[in-house]
Structure 1
């Protein structure tokens, strides 16, 4: 029982299923299922918080004022001070299932989800403006690249953009074979990557008008991208990590456990990755061969 007690005192538990990372200048935050929120100032030691109601988190982001906002599956936004350890919920009044959250450079909150719906708030969640493409498709990811420009990926391979701060959204193109994107990374409206369950990674350089399937030496599902100093990494199933070299994806962390990696963050010169069943790794991305400093599982 002493060993059980010691394990229960740890910040990370094998029952955790981590979903997303975010950070400000001082603090990193990792969110997961059952109300789990971990916060750290150094990326090595973590404080564990379980929020009331044990919400299941989908995504988290950082705002320009250094506060954190996180979206839970029950359509609540949870707001924290820059410390990342005090959270308060705000209900989003929408009949659609919300799937993603983003805080734009001007501080406006954005959420999106079912029926190609976008919701935005400029008063910290007190009121919302709604916009829809009138398409029966789920928005899976939305990211503002500037105050005016943003990209969104959606069910059935839809690629959506705005160039006027979200006042209007247009379908810019479609991915091959109605591809369902689980991960997306864009450097601009024109250039970006998407990936999904079948392990395919598609690249566009013309705002989604055409897509090129990039070669990869792995077929595991991909759940997240992370860019570090111009180098792009991809996280996948079975604790796999890929690295983009030229036009090809090379495995740098081979399949090592039957557990997904879904959350990634470059913080304090380390690549932090996390996923199911308490999986957490700290990686040195600058090593000649990928160096895993520690693993929690």
Structure 2
């Protein structure tokens, strides 16, 4: 089984896979020859910085390097046995590799030696939210809440008193924040996310999305058509009837009256009276819809399974398909204007459009892991988060990385899951045998 491929030129490419498989083509993929990697370890990622220098990473901390375009591969070990699922080099000497449990390591000598960048948080991250260019939060499995005040350079854990999976976070203003999660979990902060208090509600379902139109009026959506509404700043929550048993993944209100919710089997619900009545928007769509956002009262975007991208120009009454030539699942969408939109999804996919989805650009990323959330503030400033606690920030042409700890998929949804840990997988809490990285001397190469 092949796991990754890197194109060195228009005709030449190298593919890697299980059992140490390395294949090479010089005719654009018409024929392939097998190369001897001298190992039987599964390889998951391959990357070339130019036509001669390449690296492959895989199980048991194995990294292979080549200096002759892939004819000869030499093994390098990362001094531990993590599964390294992706590798990326900015040039011949500076590179990063990321592991399945949130491990991120860096090399400053072409892959001969590696140092770790992560502290040990390994929980998958479901959602990321930024209040401005400096202050942001991320939530995920096992009750993980992370906070940054440095635009993502450093992250700290904020205790919340729950081990439930947390699926979505939003701040109404600088002080008032809300988090929702599995088992009917609702958390509230009144001090800018420093502390979080549980809010008792009558729901026990998975709660997947939350949005507030004002400080007082908010909505929560979740499994089996759950819709909750508050009119008193979250002191009390009551159910609203959506006339659906679909899993509702996300919700967004453009004002106190007009809102849209999306979910499984192509479900799109719309209300014009604050949720007293929800009406289904019929699109004959069967794919699971995962995320939703609006740039203004009329222009909105939704993304989902099998590369589905939808756009509305009338507040959600009608939706049109946008072509992107992407067939993988898309999990998150964010906008910085009516026409400026970023989407993330499976296999580390990051798409950006500057013309409202008429055309799309694939953004560079150093991971092949699913990315479940994106926060976008325009230009090059956006953050993405996903499996294994990955948090990536891009603010210059070569992506820089900041990872600390870990939107998960529905578990029993009748549709494709977003982010469940593999069965029997244990969280790794320490990688003490890998030395801690210090800032390199080369400023241009600093991650």
Task: Please report the TM-score for the alignment, with normalisation by the length of structure 1.
Answer: 0.84
Aligned to 1:265: 375
Kept after mapping to 1: 8 A contact 2:218/2:229: yes
Match of 2:398 in 1: 291
1:140-289 correspondence to structure 2 within 5 Å: 140-171=249-280, 173-188=281-296, 190-206=298-314, 210-230=318-338, 231-246=340-355, 247-253=358-364, 256-266=366-376, 270-284=381-395
User: For the residues of structure 2 that align with 1:252 and 1:141, how far apart are their CA atoms?
Assistant: 24
**Which residue matches 2:415?**
none
Conservation of the 8 A alpha-carbon contact between 1:239 and 1:259: yes
Distance 1:207 1:214 in 2: 17
Provide the secondary structure at the position in 2 that maps to 1:215: coil
SS state at 2:347 partner? helix
Distance (Å, rounded) in 1 between the aligned partners of 2:369 and 2:279:
36
Conserved 8 A contact 1:175-1:208: no
Shift of 1:62: 1.1
2:60 matched to 1:60? no
Cα contact 1:218–1:251 (8 A) shared by 2: no
Distance 1:36 1:95, change over 3 A: closer
Q: What is the rounded CA distance, in whole Å, between the counterparts of 1:227 and 1:267 in structure 2? A: 7
Q: Quote the offset at 1:229 in angstroms.
A: 4.4
**Cα separation, 2, equivalents of 1:99 and 1:148:** 21
- Larger Rg belongs to: 2
- 8 Å contact kept, 2:287–2:308: no
Q: Displacement, 1:65? A: 6.2
| Structure 1 residue 189 displacement after superposition | 5.8
SS of aligned partner of 1:166: coil
Q: Number of aligned residue pairs: give it.
A: 287
Other structure's SS at 2:373 match: strand
RMSD (Å) for aligned C-alpha atoms: 3.0
Q: Structure 2 residue aligned with 1:137, among 235, 246, 254?
A: 246
Residues 204, 83 of structure 1: alpha-carbon distance in 2 compared, 3 angstrom cutoff: closer
> Within 5 Å, which residues of 2 pair with 1:76-87?
76-87=185-196
Q: Which has the higher strand share?
A: 1
Deviates more, 1:142-151 or 1:115-124: 115-124
Structure 1, gaps ≥5 residues long: none
Structure 2 unmatched runs, 5+: 1-79, 81-102, 104-115, 405-447
Q: CA deviation at 1:96?
A: 4.3
In the alignment, which of 5, 20, 34 is matched to residue 142 of structure 2? 34
Give CA-to-partner distance per residue, 1:170-217, whole Å, 9 cap, x none: 22x233432210122233564322221212212333555654332224
Identify which of 68, 72, 78 aligns with 2:181.
72
Query: Is the contact made by 1:161 and 1:189 (CA closer than 8 Å) also made in structure 2?
Result: no
